[in-house]
Structure 1
Amino acid sequence: MSRQGELFPVAALAGAPPAPSLPLWREQLLTWQSRLADHQAPLYAAAGAADPLQQGLLFPVPADPGDPLEQARRLDPLSLSPQSLSFWRWPRLAQQGAALYLVMDRPPQLPLPLLLYVGETGRADQRWKGDHDCKDYLAAYGEALARAGLEARPSIRFWSDVPAAVAPRRALEQALIRRWLPPFNKETRDRWATPFTADPD
């Protein structure tokens, strides 16, 4: 017969710090990552694939390749080269001008990366240098994973084949956010109920 645990252990009453509850945090983070992966995995599989004809469409209308929703549907984030988040410190930058950028993590226990953030910029070589909300979320995310004994493998990918004009570029950014639901974008943060916060204590 096992003994019932103590509600107030003697060590806690004596002023000793309570034992950390890493297994709970670890499970929360793994569950959170799995929920995000469950949404995004089918999108990776569908990226670039043509939609099958649907019943009832006798004369289907081809999708407009300039339509932001169609472009978002066809983008395969894995076709973009991953780079270090410190890319902007390199002596020569490959990124110039207008771009969309995707911040991703590659958890070792998942078969595919997680798309954490989508952003747009008119100056890809400058945007990531200064303050950025996503940097705060990445720092909190990395710290939470480290405390739980999990590994973060963040990277950033640039998509330069985007409109130079701000309005169509932002429309494309919003289409990608609506499709992939990256958790660090303000439009989707409430949906994922992150188990960590980027807000200062």
Structure 2
Amino acid sequence: MGTRKQTSLLNDEAQRAVNQSQYQNLPGQIALGRQELTAWKARVATFQTAVKTEPVMEQVSLFEATPEPAETINPFTLPQQNTEFWRWQFSDVGVAALYFVIDYQSELLLYVGETVKSNQRWKGEHDCKRYLVNYRQAHYHHNLESQLGIAFWRHAPAERRPRQAIESALIYKWRSPFNKENWKFWGTPFVGE
């Protein structure tokens, strides 16, 4: 009896993209219980909710000063995109931007990054992709919902140092748990191999 090739719902181009994906069917990397996961998320959410609801401190000045971008950017109000956006066909490389990886289901800002080419940033290797796979896997294992997305603030300075200064201020302000600067602060469980 001859072998038959299973038909695919994907066209050839889409199937090639899937075959090249860095997202693989990986075994669970983290032995994290449901209660531990929900408690960890609750701690992050409590902190970030306070950041969202705290009024911005304004210094009275004789001269009008422009507020710092890190004080005015709210990642949750930016247009939401799929985390696989980098697979789409773009006519350009994009612009200098800050980007935010968010679990919209739980309203958690997980990662803050910066790029000079917003349409190409996640092509190839990026450690945050692995953290997201681990995060999704933990949610799947415990039948918990997550809705991962990415949002871009496309008004970042083209110069690298000023852009990185804003990124650093946002990482500190929001304490995004997937940024290495905050791993110890949160005891982030998703960053292992």
TM bucket, shorter chain: 0.7 to 0.9
Paired letter, 2:57: D
The reply on whether 1:37 has 2:37 as its aligned counterpart is no
Equivalent pair of 1:103/1:154 in contact (CA under 8 Å): yes
Rounded Cα–Cα distance in structure 2 between residues aligned with 1:95 and 1:44: 31
Call closer, same or farther: CA 1:28–1:95 in 2, change over 3 Å. farther
Deviation beyond 4 Å, 4+ runs, structure 1? none
Measured against aligned partners, the alpha-carbon deviations of 1:116-150 in whole angstroms (never above 9, x if no partner) come to: 00000111111111111111111111111111111
Paired letter, 2:118: A
Identical counterparts, % of pairs: 40
Q: TM-score, normalised by structure 2?
A: 0.76
| Partner SS for 1:38 | helix
What is the Cα deviation at residue 65 of structure 1? 2.1
What CA RMSD, in Å, does the superposition of the two structures yield over aligned residues?
A: 2.1
What is the Cα deviation at residue 71 of structure 1? 1.6
Question: Could you tell me which residue of structure 2 aligns to residue 88 of structure 1?
Answer: 86
Equivalent pair of 1:105/1:114 in contact (CA under 8 Å): yes
Rounded Cα–Cα distance in structure 1 between residues aligned with 2:117 and 2:138: 31
Q: Compare CA radii of gyration and give the structure with the larger one.
A: 1
What is the Cα deviation at residue 63 of structure 1? 7.4
The reply on whether 1:25 has 2:19 as its aligned counterpart is no
Paired letter, 1:198: V
Rounded Cα–Cα distance in structure 2 between residues aligned with 1:94 and 1:190: 38
Call closer, same or farther: CA 1:95–1:116 in 2, change over 3 Å. farther
Paired letter, 1:105: D
The reply on whether 1:145 has 2:139 as its aligned counterpart is yes
Question: Could you tell me which residue of structure 1 aligns to residue 76 of structure 2?
Answer: 78
Rounded Cα–Cα distance in structure 1 between residues aligned with 2:73 and 2:58: 18
Question: Could you tell me which residue of structure 2 aligns to residue 6 of structure 1?
Answer: none
The reply on whether 1:171 has 2:165 as its aligned counterpart is yes
Rounded Cα–Cα distance in structure 1 between residues aligned with 2:182 and 2:52: 19
Call closer, same or farther: CA 1:114–1:151 in 2, change over 3 Å. same
Q: TM-score, normalised by structure 1?
A: 0.73
What is the Cα deviation at residue 44 of structure 1? 1.7
Structure 2: stretches of 5+ with no match in the other structure: 1-31
Call closer, same or farther: CA 1:153–1:129 in 2, change over 3 Å. same
Rounded Cα–Cα distance in structure 2 between residues aligned with 1:86 and 1:117: 15
What is the Cα deviation at residue 187 of structure 1? 0.4
What is the Cα deviation at residue 94 of structure 1? 8.6
| Partner SS for 1:65 | coil
Measured against aligned partners, the alpha-carbon deviations of 1:7-36 in whole angstroms (never above 9, x if no partner) come to: xxxxxxxxxxxxxxxxx7111111011000
Question: Could you tell me which residue of structure 2 aligns to residue 51 of structure 1?
Answer: 57
